Amino acid sequence: MRIIRRPSIPIKLIKPADHGIMSSLSDGDMSRPSRKGSMYPTEKVSAAIKCIIGPRKSSEIRMERSIGFLGCLSFIMGTIIGSGIFISPGGILQNTNNIWAAMIVWAMAGMISLAGGLVLIELSTVIPVSGGEYTYILAAFGGIPAFLTVWSYLMLIRPSSMGVLVLTTAVNIIEPIAKEIGVDPGDISIKLATKLLTIFLLCVIAFMNCVSVRLATYFQVICTAGKLGGLVVIIISGIYNLSTGHDKNLRVGFENATTNVGKLANALYVGLWAYDGWDQLNLVTEEIVNPYRNLPWAICVGMPFITIIYMLTNIAFLTRVDIPEFSHASVALLYGDRSLGVMSFLMPLAVILSCLGAANGTLFSAARMTLVAARNGHLPDVVSFVDVNQGTPTPAIIIMVSITTAMVLMLDIEGLIDFLSYIVWIAYGGTAITHIVFRCRRPAAPRPFKTPIAVSLILVLAAIFLTIATVVLDPRLEYLYAVAFTTSGLLLYFPFVYFELRIPGMESATKFLQLTLRVTPPAIDKSLLEDIDAAGTTWSTPSASRSRLTTAAANSEITRFEDNEDPSLLKITLTHQEDK
């Protein structure tokens, strides 16, 4: 009688290949990446692994294109409409000192954000790969700028953005309870409860994103519908208030409007923070159904709609909230108490849905940028892996939530916003420059959507103004901290990426995490490679002997079959041990 034991899992690591799909763009004599075999692991999962992870619906492990137009619109609107509309009105009004000047700032911020979205639409047609700003900067300028971009996004921009959103949610849940039980919201126990609730909510959002892309998308649609419903209630009640004579705050001209450039720059910063998120869809390009149609439509419909909603909401607030009271952190709650009566409970609910939806969208997209950076060799290989059953980037999600949790424990909302606001516009400016670069390098590349160069120039000028004017006219240590932290990424880039220094134990850690989290490198649609070919884009590494910019397949370092001589075809191999 022959007994078959549970399969053992000897995993040998192989050196990554020297070229990949997302390496630096070169116009020199670098050779094109080899197309021998598959650029990503598309082999069937072996029968033995099914003993551990169970049966699979498909023979390939991939991140599916499951986000349609409604999902795209929900992500772009749901991510942008977060805590900004409820926190930013006071900051803009304080800096402009006039309601109509504040309205102009809101409109300008919306136009600049729309310009950024239009630039990214064209870039997504030339480089139809997920990763957003990181991907485009990598293609145009090479490894170092791209690594610093993903470093700042991973360690500063996205964690601080998520922290603000979830912390705002927790505050709006805990503070009303504290007032009901007669406890001062500033009490240390309330602050601790707020932090703990923030961490719990982060874990819930992470769980949804790990379980299913569709679940995260459905949650985004629900949150978007809820927050839009709340804003519609505010706007309708504002129209009613105007019809009943509550318009004294609007009967002013441009008296006392500030002319200080520094204050105007700060006001624009605050406004642009409320619109932040217009780049989210480009981070998940590979998961969008028909991205050449759905991505442009989502941005072109969503951005103007959001701008109109924001301006109407501010006018509604002014019908029942006096200008000095706009400094109140929860202006929406104040408006709800005065204008909605028994329906005032809708305001905290709208704030909660707004923040949770925006946090969900931020995590969803930020995890994809992290995954793309890892499959290009800029982060540990295991970060580029996806769940074998759901195709979700579990390691990337866990890393992003862990960093956000640490940031929430160390900083408050104001501190998080200070870190977020400055450095992000350096990345946006660099992305606008890549648009100009590709127009010069690849003028004949197919562009289903073409954005005028003037739009990129507007975005570049806005980025220069925001990054220089604020430092010169309103110098603050937070800006220095953000820049210093971003450039500190070079201390990791050169030893671990450029010189390929290997940390002892990383191979064992990769094996352990792969088996614990049940993750593997994802497959890629062949149509993606065809789109890159059609664009006439040449992908190669700046130094084939030293660079680790590789595809997910080459960079996965998962074993291949012993009799497989093609190193680009990689997958998990499991060996049966039999006793007779």
- DSSP code per residue over 41-75: --SPPPHHHHHHH---SSSS-B----B-HHHHHHH
* Per-residue pLDDT, 506: 86
Has residue 218 got a pLDDT over 80? yes
At 24, the pLDDT band (50, 70, 90 cuts) reads: very low
Count of CB atoms situated within 10 Å of the CB of 347: 24
Give 419-448 pLDDT, tens digit per residue.
566 778 888 899 999 999 999 888 888 888
- Cα separation, 189 vs 180, in Å, equals 15
Distance of CA 97 to the CA centre of its chain: 33
* Per-residue pLDDT, 119: 92
At 532, the pLDDT band (50, 70, 90 cuts) reads: low
Residue 366's nearest CA partner among 134, 179, 97 is 134
Torsion angle defined by CA atoms of residues 317, 320, 322 and 328, in that order, rounded to the nearest 10 degrees: -60
Has residue 288 got a pLDDT over 70? yes
Count of CB atoms situated within 10 Å of the CB of 512: 12
Strands 578-579 and 519-520: unpaired
Q: CA distances (Å), 223 to each of 94, 160, 181, 198, 285, in order?
A: 30, 21, 29, 18, 22
Torsion angle defined by CA atoms of residues 468, 134, 513 and 53, in that order, rounded to the nearest 10 degrees: 140
Has residue 270 got a pLDDT over 80? yes
Residue 302's nearest CA partner among 129, 525, 120 is 120
Radius of gyration (C-alpha) of the chain in whole angstroms: 25
- Cα separation, 520 vs 9, in Å, equals 14
* CB 122 within 8 Å of CB 450: yes
To the nearest whole percent, how much of the chain has pLDDT over 70? 76
Has residue 312 got a pLDDT over 60? yes
Question: Tokens at residue 272, please?
Answer: 């642009």
Bridge-partner residues for 316, per DSSP? none
Question: Tokens at residue 188, please?
Answer: 């240390």
Count of CB atoms situated within 10 Å of the CB of 462: 23
Has residue 572 got a pLDDT over 60? no
Q: Which segment of 292-296, 309-313, 424-428, 562-566 scores lowest on mean pLDDT?
A: 562-566
* CB 217 within 8 Å of CB 66: yes
At 60, the pLDDT band (50, 70, 90 cuts) reads: low
- Dihedral sign from CA coordinates of 534, 538, 541, 545: positive
One-letter amino acid of 306: I
- Cα separation, 152 vs 146, in Å, equals 10
SS3 label, residue 159: helix
Give 154-193 pLDDT, tens digit per residue.
888 888 888 888 988 898 888 888 888 888 877 888 889 9
- Cα separation, 537 vs 32, in Å, equals 10
What does the DSSP 8-state code read for residue 557?
-
* Per-residue pLDDT, 478: 74
Distance of CA 58 to the CA centre of its chain: 28
* Per-residue pLDDT, 196: 93
Has residue 504 got a pLDDT over 80? yes
Q: Which segment of 6-10, 390-394, 521-525 scores lowest on mean pLDDT?
A: 6-10
* Per-residue pLDDT, 528: 57
Give 379-390 pLDDT, tens digit per residue.
998 998 988 888
* Per-residue pLDDT, 114: 92
Each domain of the chain, given as residue ranges in start order, spans 69-497
Question: What average pLDDT does the structure give for the chain?
Answer: 76
Residue range 69-497 in CATH 1.10.10.350: no
Question: Tokens at residue 132, please?
Answer: 């957003």
At 260, the pLDDT band (50, 70, 90 cuts) reads: confident
At 524, the pLDDT band (50, 70, 90 cuts) reads: low
pTM for the full model?
A: 0.77
Q: CA distances (Å), 282 to each of 135, 308, 431, in order?
A: 9, 23, 12
- Cα separation, 375 vs 135, in Å, equals 11
Has residue 573 got a pLDDT over 90? no
One-letter amino acid of 266: N
First to last CA, the chain: 6
- Cα separation, 255 vs 540, in Å, equals 58
* Per-residue pLDDT, 552: 34
Distance of CA 348 to the CA centre of its chain: 25
* Per-residue pLDDT, 290: 84
Count of CB atoms situated within 10 Å of the CB of 327: 12
* Per-residue pLDDT, 74: 84
Has residue 247 got a pLDDT over 90? no
Question: Tokens at residue 46, please?
Answer: 């072996």
To the nearest whole percent, how much of the chain has pLDDT over 90? 21
Has residue 549 got a pLDDT over 70? no
Residue 110's nearest CA partner among 327, 281, 277 is 277
One-letter amino acid of 191: K
- Cα separation, 250 vs 137, in Å, equals 44
What is the number of residues in the chain? Answer: 580
* CB 349 within 8 Å of CB 226: yes
- Cα separation, 305 vs 96, in Å, equals 24
At 62, the pLDDT band (50, 70, 90 cuts) reads: low
Residue 174's nearest CA partner among 165, 162, 186 is 186
What does the DSSP 8-state code read for residue 82?
S
* Per-residue pLDDT, 83: 72
